[in-house]
Amino acid sequence: MQILFKNGTIITAEGACRADLLVVNDKIAQIGADILPTAATQVVDCTDRWLLPGGVDVHTHFDLPVSGTHSSDDFFSGGRAAAFGGTTTHIDFAIQSKGGTLRAAHDTWRAKAEGRAVIDYGLHMTITDLNDAVAAEIPHMRELGITSLKLLMAYKGSVMVDDATLFRVMQIAAANDMLVMTHCENGDAIAQLQADFIAQGKTAPRYHALSRPAVLEAEATTRALALAEVAGCRLYVVHITCEGAVEALRKARTRGMPAMGETCIQYLHLTAEKLDQPDFEGAKYVCSPPLRTAHDVAVLRTALRDGSLQALSTDHCPFWFAGGENGRLAGKELGRQAFTKIPNGVPSVEERLKLSADLLEASRWVAVNCTQPARIFGLYPRKGALLVGADADIVVWNPSKQGVISAKTHHMQVDYSVFEGMTYRGAPERVYLRGKLIVHDDQWLGTAGQGVYLQRESGVWL
Ligand SMILES: [Zn+2]
């Protein structure tokens, strides 16, 4: 099977060029000027179109058990929504259960994806309960294709770990060329603030944000950076939302520390005022860390542009607004009586490329959405770049196609959009996964189970 993409503009992390691109079976076989088709070659005219590598979203939560329910997208519906938005690879989080092994967490998450995944996927390992046996298991994660370890410094009494645990994992990671990822918020102080608000009868969604001030994210980010520096490991700070955390990361990187950070698409557009909406609507915007200020939004946009942040992800973790009925899983309504019971997370996996296209120059946009995430997490050059020999994950992008984001038309399995009514300019027209057309305009052409598990190598420091 041969597909020739003619007359398109290829966007890479370095720049843009006019060239033809030939796919043979599932790989990119040739890139150059005026490639000639054979009789059997399917030709796709890409005049006035961009060709991008399929998006790589390194932070998703499909089918995640939280607060007595699950996130509403599974590996089928979430992957399909991602593909409609131009993302063809994601990395989800396998989460160790208390007292459980890492191997069991890996097996559980692979089973969730088995027969359902529609885009290619890898796994990070989230460590929640460290003991000697679990510590001894960590190096063996490499054999399972897992080279990144996530730890949460928040969610006290649930998945939070203490500094001793964090530091010990960092040492093991350093010895095994693995990457440590941290959710940076001070969980002890947050737990106290939450208890205070609830005791005062302050139960509305807005207190979710007020119980998680930015300075507690900046503090935890600084602490994680310090521990990583002493342990000598590479560090990747997930979902950075505020100026203080950006500044801490920037300072560490300036000193030559192998630290990196991402932000998520919702933090580039939305602010904490959203949580003030009446009739519990603010719950739709409850995620952690919370939405911040317009100033933070501006800081994050600049940080992505100037290289202070290296990746843009989604932390996609949707919950129904009106859940628990009509066959729906329970959702945000669980927290009507207390903000602490609202499942944390927003739906965003479909909108990342569309809603960042206008914010960044084209090559930078591809760098933070595709190429750099693939490099940081050991998927490059197979994923994240249009290169000869790479998987033929290709997005034909129409830079002038305009539209409006709405829950009525999105493909995520959830009854609202945090981006409702926002306009975009530029959208995918065709999305290929390993040479197979899976999205064509509004049409879904993929099949459940076509997504494969990706064994990852060690990534690099960017
Ligand atoms: Zn997350």
* Residue-wise pLDDT tens digits, 127-146: 999 999 999 999 999 999 99
Give the number of other CB atoms < 10 A from CB of residue 328.
18
The Cα-based distances of 363 to 87, 250, 305, 392, 450 in angstroms read 16, 22, 10, 19, 29
Cα–Cα distance measured from residue 84 to residue 171, given in angstroms and rounded to the nearest whole number: 40
User: What does the pLDDT average to over 3-16?
Assistant: 97
The Cα-based distances of 182 to 161, 202, 224, 298 in angstroms read 10, 29, 7, 23
How many angstroms does the Cα of residue 93 sit away from the middle of ligand 1? Answer: 8
Question: Torsion-angle region of residue 415: left (phi > 0), alpha (psi -120 to 50) or beta?
Answer: alpha
How many angstroms does the Cα of residue 64 sit away from the middle of ligand 1? Answer: 10
Nearest of 298, 209, 208 to residue 246 by alpha carbon: 298
How many angstroms does the Cα of residue 288 sit away from the middle of ligand 1? Answer: 8
How many angstroms does the Cα of residue 73 sit away from the middle of ligand 1? Answer: 14
How many angstroms does the Cα of residue 92 sit away from the middle of ligand 1? Answer: 9
> pLDDT averaged over the chain?
98
How many angstroms does the Cα of residue 60 sit away from the middle of ligand 1? Answer: 6
DSSP strand pairing (69-70 vs 65-66): antiparallel
How many angstroms does the Cα of residue 43 sit away from the middle of ligand 1? Answer: 40
Of the pLDDT bands very low, low, confident and very high (cuts 50, 70, 90), residue 326 is: confident
pLDDT at 434: 98
User: What does the pLDDT average to over 75-96?
Assistant: 98
CB 313 within 8 A of CB 241: no
How many angstroms does the Cα of residue 74 sit away from the middle of ligand 1? Answer: 15
Question: Torsion-angle region of residue 142: left (phi > 0), alpha (psi -120 to 50) or beta?
Answer: alpha
pLDDT at 20: 98
E strands, 96-170, are 120-126, 148-152
What predicted TM-score, i.e. pTM, was given to this entire model?
0.98
The Cα-based distances of 426 to 5, 63, 362 in angstroms read 19, 29, 11
Taking each helix axis from N to C end, the angle separating 243-254 and 294-306, rounded to the nearest 10 degrees, works out to 30
Cα–Cα distance measured from residue 91 to residue 375, given in angstroms and rounded to the nearest whole number: 13
Would the pLDDT of 175 be above 90?
yes
Over the range 119-134, which residues count as b (16 or more CB within 10 Å of their CB) and which as e? bbbbbbbbbbebeeeb
How many angstroms does the Cα of residue 294 sit away from the middle of ligand 1? Answer: 22
pLDDT at 350: 98
How many angstroms does the Cα of residue 18 sit away from the middle of ligand 1? Answer: 37
Q: Which run of H or E residues covers position 92? A: strand 87-95
pLDDT at 343: 97
Would the pLDDT of 285 be above 90?
yes
Nearest of 309, 326, 362 to residue 8 by alpha carbon: 362
Q: What's the order of all strands across the beta sheet hosting 259-264?
A: 55-60, 87-95, 120-126, 148-152, 179-183, 234-237, 259-264, 311-313
pLDDT at 160: 98
User: What does the pLDDT average to over 380-392?
Assistant: 98
Instruction: Answer whether CATH 3.20.20.140 is correct for domain 54-376.
Output: yes
pLDDT at 67: 81
Cα–Cα distance measured from residue 150 to residue 324, given in angstroms and rounded to the nearest whole number: 30
Would the pLDDT of 259 be above 90?
yes
Q: What is the CA radius of gyration of the chain?
A: 21
Amino acid at 143: E
Over the range 398-426, which residues count as b (16 or more CB within 10 Å of their CB) and which as e? beeeeeebeeeebbbbbbbbbbeebebeb
